[in-house]
Amino acid sequence: MIELRTPAEIEEMRAAGRFVASVLEATSKAAAVGVNLLDLDALAHEMIRKAGAESCYIDYHPSFGASPFGKVICTSVNDAVLHGLPHDYRLKDGDLLSLDFAASVNGWVSDSAISLVVGTPRGEDLKLIDTTERALAAGIEAARVGNKIGDISRAIQDVAKAGGYSVNTDFGGHGVGRTMHGDPHIPNAGRPGRGLPLKPGLVIAIEPWFLHTTDRIFTDPDGWTLRSADGSRGAHSEHTVAITEDGPIVLTARG
C-alpha cells in the first residue's frame, strides 16, 4: 500500500534522516586500511544504542535472505554491491566499500547508502562511484510532483548509459515510512511518463547501483551478500527523499 505523509509527518521524519546520515558519516570516516568490517558494524550499533534508535536490519528476514540479517549495517566490498553482511575482514588498500544503513527514530525510518575507496583509489572505481552519485542526483531532480516513477527510473538509466554501465532492475528504490521497505518499487531503468504519478507526501528511497562490466549478480554463500557475476566491482548511492509541492527534500543529506 502506498502512503502519503503530511507536511508535519515529513518534519518528524527529519530526525531519522539526520541520524542515518550521521552514522554513514562516522562509519565512512572510520573505514581505513586494516579496519575490520565487524568494527564498522559495532560503531553503527553503538550509535544506535546511544541515540535510542532502532535497527531496521538486525532482525530483517525477507524472502530473499537466508536468515535474519543479524547486523546493523551493510558492508559491501569490491565485487559485492548490495546487502553485504559484515564479517571478519580487514579492509585493504584500494578496496571499494559500499555502506548501506537504515534505522528508525521515533517510529520513522530513513535509508541511505554511500560508496568510497579505502586508501589508494583506482580511476575506474572513482568514475563508478561518481556515476552512481550523479545518477542519484538525477533521480532526485526527477522526483517532482507531476512526474511519474518512470521519470525517476529513466533519469537514473540515462546517467548509467552515458557512463557505459548497464542496469540491473532486480533491486532498486522503494517507499519509506514506518517500515524500511514499502511501495512503490522504483527500478533504476524505465520509461519516462510511465508508472505511478508522484504526489506530495510520497517518501521514497532512491538508490542507483552499478557494476563495472555486468548487470548480473549472484548471492554469496552467506545467504545475503550480492556479488557481480563476473567479479567486477560495484558502487551504490542512496538517499531518502520526500516529494513536496516545493520540490524534493533529501532527508538523509550528509554534511
Q: What are 215-238's pLDDT values in tens digits?
A: 999 999 999 999 999 999 999 999
pLDDT, position 25: 98
Asked whether residue 2 is assigned to any structural domain, the reply reads: no
Cβ(117)–Cβ(129) below 8 Å: yes
User: What CATH number should be reported for the domain holding residue 108?
Assistant: 3.90.230.10
Over residues 171-220, the pLDDT tens digits come to 999 999 999 999 999 999 999 999 999 999 999 999 999 999 999 999 99
Is 100 annotated as a binding-site member?
yes
Cell numbers for 167, please give them. 542496469
pLDDT, position 72: 98
Asked whether residue 68 is assigned to any structural domain, the reply reads: yes
Domain count, the chain: 1
Asked whether residue 165 is assigned to any structural domain, the reply reads: yes
Is 174 annotated as a binding-site member?
yes
Asked whether residue 158 is assigned to any structural domain, the reply reads: yes
Is 111 annotated as a binding-site member?
yes
**Residue with the three cell numbers 532512491:** 206
Is 207 annotated as a binding-site member?
yes
Asked whether residue 114 is assigned to any structural domain, the reply reads: yes
pLDDT, position 62: 85
Asked whether residue 1 is assigned to any structural domain, the reply reads: no
Mean pLDDT across the chain: 97
Is 3 annotated as a binding-site member?
no
User: CA-CA distance, 172 to 248, in Å (whole number)?
Assistant: 18
Say if residue 66's pLDDT is above 90.
no
Helix (H), strand (E) at residue 182: strand 182-186
Partner residues linked to 96 by β-bridges? 117
User: CA-CA distance, 175 to 181, in Å (whole number)?
Assistant: 6
Cell numbers for 228, please give them. 557481480
Asked whether residue 69 is assigned to any structural domain, the reply reads: yes
Asked whether residue 159 is assigned to any structural domain, the reply reads: yes
The pTM of the full predicted model, rounded to 2 decimals, is: 0.97
Cell numbers for 124, please give them. 575506474
Partner residues linked to 247 by β-bridges? 244
- The parent domain of residue 165 ranges over 7-250
Query: What is the percent of the chain where pLDDT is above 70?
Result: 100
Name the amino acid, one letter, at 177: G
Is 238 annotated as a binding-site member?
yes
Is 45 annotated as a binding-site member?
no
Helix (H), strand (E) at residue 15: helix 7-30
Say if residue 1's pLDDT is above 90.
no
CA angle 106, 108, 111 (to 5 degrees): 130
